[in-house]
Amino acid sequence: MTKRMLIMLGCIVVLVAGLAFGFYLHIQKLIASAPKPGPQTVTSMIVKTMEWKPQLTAIATLSPVKGVELSSEVSGLVVQVLFHSGQAVKAGDPLVQLNADAELAQFKAAEASAELAEIVYQRDKAQFQVQAVSQAQLDADTADLKLKKAQAMLQKATLEKKTIKAPFAGKLGITAVVPGQFLNPGDKVVTLQTLNPIYADFFQPQQKVALLKTGQAVSLKLDAYPGQVFSGRITTLNPKVETASRNLQIQSTFDNAKLQLLPGMFANVSVDLGQAQQLLTLPQTAVTYNPYGSTVFIVKEADKENADGKKPKVAQQIFVVTGETRGDQITILKGLKEGQEVVTSGQLKLKNGTPVLIDNSVLPGNDPSPTPQEP
């Protein structure tokens, strides 16, 4: 009985082994007959060195050297508007005249009182010389004269406030003030801006403070003037860092003789930090960022020939060390050599050894100073 069971068990083992071997051969046949993946279409470029000038870039806001919203200091009825919107004015030019009849009368009265006090003082002073009046009377006359003059000066100052003048030279904005309108203290009259020169204020993180100093050249570009570059200089570094953002405010000054730059505009500014260098650059699309590092795919010949007797091009992933960015470009500090062919787009479907087909009919952006494309 035992011998018969062993024979049966052996037959079962042989049967199972035969089935497993047959299944293995079937799987191998399927794998061999499965179609191999074809080459993946990508774009590529030959790595070259380019001139790279170290720069800091930021978004700036333009502000006037002098700018103010003119308003009335006293209340009154507008009698005359002595300017027109957009006019250039000089410091001290009268702009708006308020009704000052009452103030003028009060000033004349105070002036007359001061003149009378002066006459009384001079007469008593002459009499004091001959001992006709006392010292106390002369002292009272002196005090009264000073009081009357001070009152006249007060009335004159009130009268002068009825004429709104330009505090400095500049260009006026648009006004809605018209004769017959009543102005209260603080009511806006017109904006006055000094436009030449003009400031461009921007911020940089505190890590960049050591790279900045007054006198450095600054370039400014606006979307209002495509292709035009304005040149200026850093004139002021804020003596403190903003506690909320840890950023430093920088103020640069630009010549604005043509009055193209207006307060409130935003602009792109760049600060030159030193001499130009020769660095390897790639389009930013060529670099893949991972938690374990930055990588690119290079294109090289395969080790083995294909059925046609040619060595196909395949992709190989390598690690790189990246540097600064500029527009569409990024610098490569380590990992690549000049002359190597690098995949610039389509690398998401690649792995080591994947055959590639190069099609550069449509290339990714590689402009150091890209501009928005109009639809």
Instruction: Answer yes or no: do 246 and 206 share one domain.
Output: yes
| Domain end call among 145, 175, 205 | 175
Q: What is the mean pLDDT of the chain?
A: 82
pLDDT at 37 over 70: no
Instruction: Answer yes or no: do 128 and 213 share one domain.
Output: no
* 1 occurs within a structural domain: no
pLDDT at 25 over 80: no
The three state secondary structure string of the chain is CHHHHHHHHHHHHHHHHHHHHHHHHHHHHHHHHCCCCCCEEEEEEECEEEEECCEEEEEEEEEEEEEEEEECCCCEEEEEECCCCCCEECCCCEEEEECCHHHHHHHHHHHHHHHHHHHHHHHHHHHHHCCCCCHHHHHHHHHHHHHHHHHHHHHHHHHHCCEEECCCCEEECCCCCCCCCEECCCCEEEEEEEEEEEEEEEEEEHHHHHHCCCCCEEEEECCCCCCCCEEEEEEEEEEEECCCCCEEEEEEEECCCCCCCCCCCEEEEEEECCCCEEEEEEEHHHCEEECCEEEEEEEEECCCCCCCCCCCEEEEEEEEEEEEEECCEEEEEECCCCCCEEEEECHHHCCCCCEEEECCCCCCCCCCCCCCCCC
Instruction: Answer yes or no: do 230 and 86 share one domain.
Output: no
Q: Domain of 246: which CATH number?
A: 2.40.30.170
* 367 occurs within a structural domain: no
Instruction: Answer yes or no: do 122 and 258 share one domain.
Output: no
Mean pLDDT of 62-85: 85
* 32 occurs within a structural domain: no
Q: What pLDDT sits at residue 358?
A: 85
Q: What pLDDT sits at residue 214?
A: 87
Q: Domain of 142: which CATH number?
A: 1.10.287.470
Instruction: Answer yes or no: do 196 and 119 share one domain.
Output: no
* 345 occurs within a structural domain: yes
Instruction: Answer yes or no: do 220 and 291 share one domain.
Output: no
- Quickly state the pLDDT bin for 325 (edges 50, 70, 90): confident
Instruction: Answer yes or no: do 217 and 243 share one domain.
Output: yes
* 373 occurs within a structural domain: no
User: Locate tokens 């330009």: which residue?
Assistant: 166
Burial status of residue 114 (CB atoms within 10 A of its CB: 0-12, 13-18, 19 or more) = buried
Instruction: Answer yes or no: do 291 and 323 share one domain.
Output: yes
Domain that holds residue 230: 56-65+192-272
Q: What pLDDT sits at residue 159?
A: 78
* Residue scoring higher pLDDT (121 or 192): 192
Q: Domain of 305: which CATH number?
A: 2.40.420.20
Work out how many domains the chain is built from and give that number. 4
Integer Cα distance of 256 and 344 in angstroms: 42
Q: Which tens digit of pLDDT belongs to each residue from 230-268?
A: 889 999 888 888 888 888 898 999 988 888 888 888 888
Instruction: Answer yes or no: do 105 and 116 share one domain.
Output: yes
- Quickly state the pLDDT bin for 139 (edges 50, 70, 90): confident
Q: Which tens digit of pLDDT belongs to each residue from 357-369?
A: 888 888 888 777 6
pLDDT at 332 over 70: yes
* 322 occurs within a structural domain: yes
* 350 occurs within a structural domain: yes
- Quickly state the pLDDT bin for 375 (edges 50, 70, 90): very low
pLDDT at 46 over 80: yes
Instruction: Answer yes or no: do 150 and 290 share one domain.
Output: no
| Domain end call among 241, 272, 303 | 272
Q: How far is CA 139 from CA 25, 35, 130, 131, in A?
A: 131, 120, 16, 14
Q: Which tens digit of pLDDT belongs to each residue from 170-229?
A: 888 888 888 888 888 888 888 888 888 899 999 988 888 888 888 888 888 888 888 888
* 34 occurs within a structural domain: no
CA 141 from centroid of its chain's CA atoms: 66
Q: What percent of the chain has pLDDT over 90?
A: 3
Amino acid letter for position 143: A
Q: Which tens digit of pLDDT belongs to each residue from 337-352?
A: 888 889 988 888 888 8
Q: What pLDDT sits at residue 307?
A: 61
Q: What pLDDT sits at residue 371?
A: 62
pLDDT at 34 over 70: no
pLDDT at 144 over 80: no
| Among the listed residues 64, 61, 266, 60, the one whose alpha carbon sits nearest the alpha carbon of residue 173 | 64
